[in-house]
Amino acid sequence: MRRRGGVLVGIGGLLLCLGSVARSEAPATPAATHTVLAPEDMKWADAPPIFVKGAKMAVLLGDPGKPGMFIVRMKLPANYKIAPHWHPTDENVTVISGSFAIGMGEKIDPKTKAMPAGSFFSMPAKMHHFAFTKKETVVDVSGMGPFTLTYLDPNDDPSKQAAAK
Ligand SMILES: [Cu+2]
């Protein structure tokens, strides 16, 4: 009996502890509504011109152009490359389908392992990294907006190439 009481107190303490963590992390102003998106409800468009042509993007949550949390889904064709770059904020990537390689460094390393669906990456702010696909791939990208991407080599920036033409 005593032992069982101890376990209960232990569980109670854990719940209290979890409760206080949840409370301290709760947003000051909770969202007014929840978001439910079936795949067919997602509004796909061409990814912004900072990405090489061929990528599609659907905003799932928030607005990547504004301050605050955002989540976008990106559909990338086979053999798509994102040249070495960095972001001012952390970037989180979940592979939904296909396979995605993300590597750290100043040059694309074709030997970087393409990670299968279900994989997760988190790149800290300002970390130099690159990415590529081998087959059509869908990823979710989340972070704190406003989202910006700076290529290490400005010649890799397709938005600048378009402007120069
Ligand atoms: Cu990135």
Using DSSP bridges, classify how beta strands 129-133 and 137-145 pair: parallel, antiparallel or unpaired: unpaired
21: tokens are 């963590």
150: tokens are 């700076």
Average pLDDT of the residues in 114-131: 98
Hey, what amino acid is at 79?
N
144: tokens are 């704190």
Contact (Cβ atoms closer than 8 angstroms) between residue 78 and residue 138: no
For 130, what's the count of Cα atoms within 13 Å in the CB-facing half-sphere?
A: 21
| Prediction pTM value | 0.79
pLDDT at position 160: 86
* Cα–ligand 1 centroid distance for 65 (angstroms): 15
Hey, what amino acid is at 102?
I
Tokens 């998106």 identify what position? 37
* Cα–ligand 1 centroid distance for 8 (angstroms): 46
Contact (Cβ atoms closer than 8 angstroms) between residue 122 and residue 90: yes
- For 37-88, the pLDDT digits (tens) are 999 999 999 999 999 999 999 999 999 999 999 999 999 999 999 999 999 9
pLDDT of 21 strictly over 60: no
Mean pLDDT of the chain: 87
* Cα–ligand 1 centroid distance for 66 (angstroms): 17
